[in-house]
Amino acid sequence: MASELPLVALVDNERVRISVSSTLDRASSKRFLCDGNDDTCWSSAIPKVTISRPSLPHTLTSTSLSLSQPNTPTTITLLWPHPHPGVLPRRIEFTFQGGFVGRTVSVFCLTAAAEWSLLTQVFPLDINANQSFDLPSQGDTPVHSIRLVFENGSDLNYGRIVLYRLQILGLEPTSAPPPAV
């Protein structure tokens, strides 16, 4: 049975493509999410909304104003690119910086059916320690991409997320059981 096999780390900078909705700066790049170094982190940028006013007939320039938008969701997308056959995720682990925690995280998965579906929601605590959450099984259906949507965070002023470690544990296609005949 698949659940009896040992879980392996499925996320590293060589096997998975990572995209994020924002990054604060190069010192907190997305490559630090899974570099194995506890001293580096990824930090989302302060979500902003821009309000523009078009030029008036008697002026030559338009004006714009950027405002903080703390309720804008932050996303991280993990993609196991073709020809990778996908993964069987079983657990997700986070290490946040306290005060900058994603308190509600929706975990979506993309299978060969090419439709995003909600796998689960997890609710990390506002602490610095590693936190682990079991994921519901998708059976033997490989997942090709996972999207994490941080719907709200503990940074009430700006909505930033600071993540020192992200890991998905599960089964590799080579360790997945063969399809039932």
**Is the per-residue pLDDT at 24 higher than 90?**
no
| Contacts of residue 180, Cβ cutoff 8 Å, sequence gap at least 6 | none
**Is the per-residue pLDDT at 162 higher than 50?**
yes
At residue 32, what is the residue type?
F
What pLDDT was estimated at residue 68?
A: 46
Cα 54 to chain centroid, rounded? 36
**Is the per-residue pLDDT at 19 higher than 70?**
yes
The secondary element (H helix, E strand) that includes residue 152 is: strand 143-153
